[in-house]
Structure 1
Amino acid sequence: MALRIKSHWQNEERERSLPEIAGALAFIAWRIAMEKAINLHCERFVYASDEQRLLVIQEYLVFLIQIADRLSHGPLHDEDRRILVTEFARKVFGHVQDNSQDLLGPGDYGGPFIARLNARSDEYAESQFGADGPSYALLRHLGFEIQALMGISQENRWVIDQVMDRDGWDAYKTFARAFRDLFE
């Protein structure tokens, strides 16, 4: 079943600020990342714990933050791009912290997420992103990181292929469409 994303403003006449757009993007990114984590389970890949599932969701969120940065390059001026991506990451941080606390109990979940985001930003910077979307290398890196989180057990040894060939690409397409819709 396809994920339905609401990516049009109710009152399209009203001008939206970059932080408002970032908040909508963060909510959409959370839904996409969660749906992709659920899809891995539906494809018979195995999570050892809820914490592991949340880490996979976070990996997708990091990927989508990188995608937002790449999509905003060109249409937005550098300062607006910085504001959008920073606010987007802050809102995602809030989703990670709140949802992790709800599921796992009190703790600092946002701090490690930001550390992961910073580390991955350097890694993803080496991969290309063209008019057609993320390069094979960018999707492969996402798949590699998710496989590292899930482990190379008998059940999970092909998770990298699932992420590279289907889920990562689907996440990109859904997010890119919503990104464009929110700026119309």
Structure 2
Amino acid sequence: MALRIKSHWQNEDIERSLDEVGGALAFIAFRIATDKAITLHCERFVYRDDAQRMRVIQEYVIFLIQIADRLAHEMLDDDRRRELITAMARKAVDHVQDNSQDLMGPDDYGTPFIQRLNERSGEYAEFQLDDEGPSYSFLRHLGFEIQQLMGEQDENRWVIDQVMDKDGWDAYKRFSKAFRDLFE
């Protein structure tokens, strides 16, 4: 079944705050990230447990936050861009906390996510996003991080290729379309 992303406001005549747009982007990013984690499973890559699957989802969300930041740079001044990405990150933390708690029980899942987001933001800052999409290095970094999470046992050896060649591109395309739709 194909993932359906709602990326248009029900009442398009109402102007939305950057906080509302950031919340919508976080929800869309989490849905796309979850879909990509499911795709990996359907492609016969093996998760050790729910915690590992949730970490893969988080890596995709972090990647999509980086994409949102680059796309926002094209459209917004620095203060508005910061406001949007902060709102998106805060809402993403809520999604990570709620979903992780549902799967694995009570704990603080948000703080480690924020730490990884901050760390990855510095790493992704080295990579380019242009009109054609994320650079090879951008996608390779996502694939590398997911490969580190999945391990290199036989069934997961080629996960980096799946992420770089298919899933990362698809996540980017779906998310960038939704991003632009929300600002129409």
Would you say same fold, with TM above 0.5?
A: yes
- Counting matched residue pairs gives 184
Deviation at 1:80, TM superposition (A): 0.4
Any stretches of 5+ residues in structure 1 without a counterpart?
none
Instruction: Map 1:123-134; keep pairs closer than 5 Å.
Output: 123-134=123-134
Measured against aligned partners, the alpha-carbon deviations of 1:47-89 in whole angstroms (never above 9, x if no partner) come to 0000000000000000000000000012101100000000000
Q: Which residue of structure 2 lines up, in the alignment, with residue 5 of structure 1?
A: 5
Q: Which residue of structure 2 lines up, in the alignment, with residue 179 of structure 1?
A: 179
Q: Which residue of structure 2 lines up, in the alignment, with residue 67 of structure 1?
A: 67
Instruction: Map 1:158-169; keep pairs closer than 5 Å.
Output: 158-169=158-169
Separation of aligned partners in 1, 2:68 and 2:129: 11
Instruction: Map 1:29-178; keep pairs closer than 5 Å.
Output: 29-178=29-178
Moved over 4 A (4+): none
Measured against aligned partners, the alpha-carbon deviations of 1:93-148 in whole angstroms (never above 9, x if no partner) come to 00000110011000010000000001100110011111111000000000000000
Structure 1: which amino acid aligns with 2:103?
L
Percent of matched pairs sharing the same residue:
73
Normalization by structure 1: what TM-score?
0.99
Separation of aligned partners in 2, 1:37 and 1:151: 15
Separation of aligned partners in 2, 1:62 and 1:28: 13
Name which of structure 1's ranges 49-58 and 2-11 shifts more when overlaid on structure 2: 2-11
RMSD: 0.5
Deviation at 1:3, TM superposition (A): 1.3
Deviation at 1:2, TM superposition (A): 2.5
Matched residue SS, 1:13:
coil
Matched residue SS, 1:51:
helix
